[in-house]
């Protein structure tokens, strides 16, 4: 979504136009859900957080001053929600790092298939699920500040400038965190990649 | 170039952010050092796998769920801009009527007080007149 469209959408959101809210959700639900899912590692928590993110956007849209783009602002809200939810889950001892269980893997598999243009063979599918699971586990083992950077950059394909704005850290910090995150993932995935 | 030094350049190399000199230096090192080449290959494959993660579709009814939650939390007031126009007109009318009633009552009360204040002063004036000795 380009800047002009984002500005127009923001104006309509401020007027409480129900169509604008629907458009916003349609536009951002997939990238934001994926960020939340990769950060939290649990589909149900990610679904719940997704709703909370949009509710926060709607509640705070009057405070949005347009200093960053609307999408950057929404990503920032999402990452803050993730951090708070993880703290909450850790406090409540409900969170386990290996929450990504087989049922999650199966759910992800069926979802993944819908995104494929071709139908993968059984071996390929099994291998893909295994790698997906390994990556998710390796990401879960990263520090939060490293995980979020690698997700935003390598999974969500955002630019360094966007990541700086979302996380409100300097360019050098983003790059050094990304480097450490990628190196840590490489170490963890090395046996599977040989 | 040392092994550690080469590894430190991987991210900038992958993002195409190295200067020509550094890039040429790293590439020359990778050609001559098996260990670094293996490291770079593992790094590159890791990035490839991570960026190849497929998008997971969000739940299909997100719009409805969010609207339902918002409506519940705001007690139906959030998306009520157009619907609330009638309500706000009724509210404004009610407030105006209430204002006129209160203003009328207030004015009536003020008049009564003024009348009550005027009457005793007449009496007092009458009393004073009575005290004036008759000639």
Contact between chains at A16 and B79 (C-beta distance less than 8 A): yes
- Measured CA distances, B25 to A80, A117, B13 (Å): 41, 40, 11
Q: For A114, which of B14, B49, B57 is closest by C-beta distance?
A: B57
Minimum CA–CA partner of B10 in chain A: A179
Distance CA B65, CA A30 (A): 15
Q: Would you kindly state where each structural domain of chain A is located, as residue ranges? A: 1-98
Distance CA A136, CA A133 (A): 5
Question: Which residue from A26, A63, A180 is spatially nearest to B46, judged by alpha carbons?
Answer: A180
Contact between chains at A33 and B56 (C-beta distance less than 8 A): yes
Distance CA A48, CA A41 (A): 13
Nearest 10 degrees: CA dihedral of A105, A106, A111, A112?
Answer: 60
Chain A hits for B46, Cβ within 8 Å: 182, 185-186, 189-190, 193
The mean predicted confidence, pLDDT, of chain B is 81
Chain A hits for B11, Cβ within 8 Å: 175, 178-179, 182
Q: What is the full DSSP assignment across chain A?
A: --HHHHHHHHHHHHTT-HHHHHHHHHHHHHHHHHHHHHHH--HHHHHHHHHHHHHHHHHHTTT--SSS-HHHHHHHHHHHHHHHHHHHHHHTT---TT---HHHHHHHHHHHHHH-SS---HHHHHHHHHHHHHHHHHHHTS-HHHHHHHIIIIIS---HHHHHHHHT--HHHHHHHHHHHHHHHHHHHHHHH-
Distance CA B49, CA A182 (A): 11
Judged by DSSP in three states, B46 sits in: helix
Contact between chains at B56 and A108 (C-beta distance less than 8 A): yes
pLDDT at residue B90, as a whole number = 77
Contact between chains at A157 and B51 (C-beta distance less than 8 A): yes
Per-residue tokens: A50: 């997704």
Contact between chains at B70 and A135 (C-beta distance less than 8 A): no
Please check the confidence at residue B80 and state whether its pLDDT lies above 80: no
pLDDT at residue B126, as a whole number = 54
Contact between chains at B70 and A189 (C-beta distance less than 8 A): no
Quick one: average pLDDT of A169-187? 95
- Residues whose CB is less than 8 angstroms from the CB of residue B3 and which lie 6 or more positions away in sequence, other chains included: B33, B35, B36, B39
Q: Which of A180, A183, A192 to mutate to test the interface with B (most CBs of B within 10 A)?
A: A183
Q: B46-79 pLDDT, tens per residue?
A: 999 999 998 899 988 888 888 888 888 877 666 6
The mean predicted confidence, pLDDT, of chain A is 84
Fold classification of A1-98 is: Rna Polymerase Sigma Factor; Chain: A (1.10.1740)
- Tell me which of A124-128, A174-178, B4-8 is least confident: A124-128
Quick one: average pLDDT of A90-96? 67
Q: A3-23 pLDDT, tens per residue?
A: 788 888 998 988 888 889 899
Chain A hits for B4, Cβ within 8 Å: none
Per-residue tokens: A95: 């969170």
The DSSP output letter for B78 is T
Q: For A55, which of B7, B46, B69 is closest by C-beta distance?
A: B69
Q: Which of A23, A31, A134, A154 to mutate to test the interface with B (most CBs of B within 10 A)?
A: A154
């Amino acid at each position: 979504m380009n800047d002009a469209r984002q500005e127009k959408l923001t104006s309509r959101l401020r007027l409480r136009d129900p169509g604008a809210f629907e458009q916003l959700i349609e536009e951002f639900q997939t990238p934001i859900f994926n960020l939340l899912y990769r950060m939290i590692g649990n589909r149900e928590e990610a679904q719940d957080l997704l709703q909370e993110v949009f509710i926060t956007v709607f509640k705070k849209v009057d405070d949005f001053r347009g200093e960053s783009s609307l999408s950057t602002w929404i990503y920032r809200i999402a990452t803050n929600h993730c951090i708070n939810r993880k703290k909450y889950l850790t406090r409540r001892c409900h969170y386990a790092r290996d929450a990504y269980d087989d049922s999650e893997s199966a759910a992800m598999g069926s979802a993944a298939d819908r995104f494929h243009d071709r139908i993968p063979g059984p071996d390929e599918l099994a291998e893909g699920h295994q790698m997906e699971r390994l990556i998710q586990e390796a990401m879960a083992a990263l520090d939060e500040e490293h995980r979020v950077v690698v997700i935003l950059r390598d999974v969500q394909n955002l630019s360094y400038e966007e990541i700086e704005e979302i996380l409100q850290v300097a360019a050098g910090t983003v790059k050094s965190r990304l480097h450490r995150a990628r190196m840590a993932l490489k170490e963890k995935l090395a046996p599977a990649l040989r | 170039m040392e092994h550690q030094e080469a590894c430190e350049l991987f991210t900038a190399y992958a993002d195409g952010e190295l200067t020509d000199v550094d890039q040429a230096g790293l590439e020359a090192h990778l050609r001559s050092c098996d260990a670094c080449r293996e490291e770079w290959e593992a790094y590159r494959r890791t990035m490839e796998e991570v960026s190849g993660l497929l998008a997971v579709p969000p739940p299909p009814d997100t719009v409805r769920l969010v609207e339902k939650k918002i409506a519940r939390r705001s007690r139906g007031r959030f998306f009520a801009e157009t619907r609330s126009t009638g309500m706000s007109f009724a509210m404004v009318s009610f407030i105006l009527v209430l204002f006129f009633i209160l203003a009328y009552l207030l004015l009536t009360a003020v008049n009564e007080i003024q009348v009550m204040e005027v009457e005793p002063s007449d009496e007092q004036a009458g009393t004073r007149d009575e005290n004036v000795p008759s000639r």
